[in-house]
Amino acid sequence: MTIWQTIILAAIAVFALKLAGYLVPPALVEKPTPARIANLLTVALLAALIVVQTVGGQQGLVLDARVPALIVAAGLLAIRAPFIVVVAAAAVVAALIRLWT
């Protein structure tokens, strides 16, 4: 699959899900279980993406400058720093560690 095919199909899927909420009668889906699963899906996927992005490598797990960068990001989030500051700080920490090691 090419990058274009991937992003077009993914965009269609995401839009179809949004539109589905306007087409389906609310009583059918507004039960607690589907709502709970959808919320937890978001949590699970984001947590897995963090792991893949932090310790994923070409061959298995890799511990490198990304780990301290993520710890700094978590610390900044804990003191309620803005999103853009957190993202930029992580990039700078990782870049500096790679520069010095």
Interactions with another protein, residue window 20-49 (CB under 8 A): 20-22, 24, 26, 29-30, 32-49
Shortest distance in whole angstroms from residue 83 CB to another protein: 5
Shortest distance in whole angstroms from residue 89 CB to another protein: 7
Q: Hey, which residues between 64 and 93 contact another protein (CB under 8 A)?
A: 65-66, 69-70, 73-74, 77, 82-84, 86-93
Shortest distance in whole angstroms from residue 39 CB to another protein: 6
DSSP letters, the chain, are: --HHHHHHHHHHHHHHHHHHHHHS-HHHH-SHHHHHHHHHHHHHHHHHHHHHHHHEETTEE--STHHHHHHHHHHHHHTT--HHHHHHHHHHHHHHHHHH-
Asked if 98 interacts with another protein (CB under 8 A), we say yes
In contact, 97 and 68? CB cutoff 8 Å: yes
Asked if 63 interacts with another protein (CB under 8 A), we say no
